[in-house]
Amino acid sequence: MTVVLLWSSMTVTALAAPSKTYVLRDLEQNNREIEELAQELEEKYGITILYPTITWENSQQLATIVPETLRTLDEALSLVTSRLVRKVSSYYYDLNGRRLTFEYVNADMRGPYSDTNQQEVQVGGFHRNTSRVRLYIPALEEQGVATGDNPLTIIHEFAHAFHFMLTDRYGYTAMEKRWLELMEGDSFAPEHVNDRVFVTEYASTGYDEDFAETFAHAFICNRAGLGISHRLSRREGKSTVTTSLGKKVAYIERMLRVAMPDNLEMLDNFRMVYSTPVSASAAGLRLSGLHLLFINMPEPRTIPLTFLKSLYVNERNTVWFPSLGGWYCKDSFGNHLMLFPEGTYGNSGRDIMEYQAELDAKLAEDLACAERLKQERAQERAQRAAQLRQTLEAAQESTAQQEDGGTLLRVSQPAA
């Protein structure tokens, strides 16, 4: 995979996914923050959160994850909304006696750099019988090339939970048959992946992964530069035809409407996939690609090991840019590099620190615009809800009227 980020002739090259040595200076303070944040998120989403610990003084168990890990979880789940997460979690509680559980698991994430030279690294998984989403992450002070604590992995695994809830209700075979019909003759594991059929190469490996990948990208790719709307339709002469990918997105939207027709915030978030621009501009920089996932996100605790191994980069000299969703640094040869959490990098040829104020101002402007849009949509949803209430009240009033001898009489209601 090659992702392009243009600033003059700047090309961003794809490597692996993230990891970095992370040292906690105050384990007990970190533990208090994690406990408070985990409790807050458990109450907000109706879920359970588990994470690895180490044994400290007096056999106290202290968290080895950091607050940013859970803040990323919060940012991701907020896109599908707490109401949908609660609904799915409640379903699995009724099924298994356990709420939907997000469990962070330390694993060897070094891939080809590990002692066993792994060809693939698993970053997440959903276990239906235990209601458990597992997010695999490197242990403290361990280097790696992958991590599961990123928005796409989180929502991908949640999508599996949502999907199995649907198949239990409507039938797995029936849903799979309908999905295959939407592909219009294309098959899984093709020799060449058509991006108008599959949202990613991984999506082309099978039905379950295709559903989860499409679901995740529809919710996550909701900011300028991440857009996939151009892949949902194509021109045929003077007509516009919906692509197979577009039909899959529309199908998932219909299932969301069936599952929670009154969750207007969720539907608004999902529909952003239809209009999100493919690229964005800031400080003369045209941005495009999945590295933008982390714009305005908490700084990940991981920097790709492949950067440190291949680019002569000293992680202590990296500076996190929320406005770009990546780290800026110079390598040992003086090249100006942007390192992105999902494993891409690029040489801008310019000192991005000089553009920090402009980039921060652009981010603030974008956030303010997004907040205004959010408020406008909230007002629209409130108006729709008010109209619905008025319709219901009018219907109730109509049933409280009786026709007597051709005269419509209002039934007297007792005083309160």
Cα angle 342, 363, 40 (rounded to 5 degrees) comes to 70
User: Regarding predicted confidence, which is higher, 314 or 214?
Assistant: 214
Q: H or E segment at 285?
A: strand 285-287
Q: Are 279 and 288 in contact (CB under 8 A)?
A: yes
3-state secondary structure of 339: strand
Q: For residue 153, what pLDDT is reported?
A: 94
User: Regarding predicted confidence, which is higher, 223 or 42?
Assistant: 42
Q: How far is CA 125 from the centre of its chain?
A: 15
Q: State the average pLDDT over residues 104-133.
A: 87
Q: Could you give the percent of the chain with pLDDT greater than 70?
A: 90
Pick from 278, 255, 257, 283: nearest CA to 360: 283
**Residue 89 neighbours by CB under 8 Å, 6+ apart:** 45, 46, 47, 99, 100, 131
Cα end-to-end span (Å), the chain: 69
Q: For residue 6, what pLDDT is reported?
A: 32
pLDDT tens digits along 304-316: 777 877 788 877 7
Q: Are 97 and 130 in contact (CB under 8 A)?
A: no
Q: Is 12 exposed, middle or buried (0-12, 13-18, 19+ CB in 10 A)?
A: buried
Q: For residue 160, what pLDDT is reported?
A: 98
Q: For residue 34, what pLDDT is reported?
A: 95
- pTM confidence score: 0.84
Q: Are 306 and 16 in contact (CB under 8 A)?
A: yes
Q: For residue 44, what pLDDT is reported?
A: 98
Side-chain half-sphere CA neighbours of 332 within 13 A: 9
Q: State the average pLDDT over residues 289-311.
A: 80
Q: If pLDDT is split at 50, 70 and 90, which confidence band does 72 have? A: very high
Q: What is the mean pLDDT of the chain?
A: 84
Q: Amino acid letter at 9?
A: S
pLDDT at 28 over 60: yes
Q: For domain 12-375, is the CATH number 3.40.390.10?
A: yes
Q: For residue 400, what pLDDT is reported?
A: 61
Q: State the average pLDDT over residues 204-232.
A: 93
Q: H or E segment at 363?
A: helix 356-399
Q: Could you give the percent of the chain with pLDDT greater than 90?
A: 43
pLDDT tens digits along 359-415: 888 888 888 887 887 788 788 878 877 887 888 888 777 766 544 444 333 333 333
Strands 285-287 and 280-282: antiparallel
Least-confidence region, from 29-38, 132-141, 195-204: 132-141
Q: State the average pLDDT over residues 233-262.
A: 93
Q: For residue 311, what pLDDT is reported?
A: 81
Report the C-alpha gap between 28 and 204 in whole angstroms.
45
Helices (H), 183-314: 207-220, 244-259, 264-271, 305-310
Q: For residue 292, what pLDDT is reported?
A: 84
User: Regarding predicted confidence, which is higher, 309 or 34?
Assistant: 34
**Residue 119 neighbours by CB under 8 Å, 6+ apart:** 111, 112
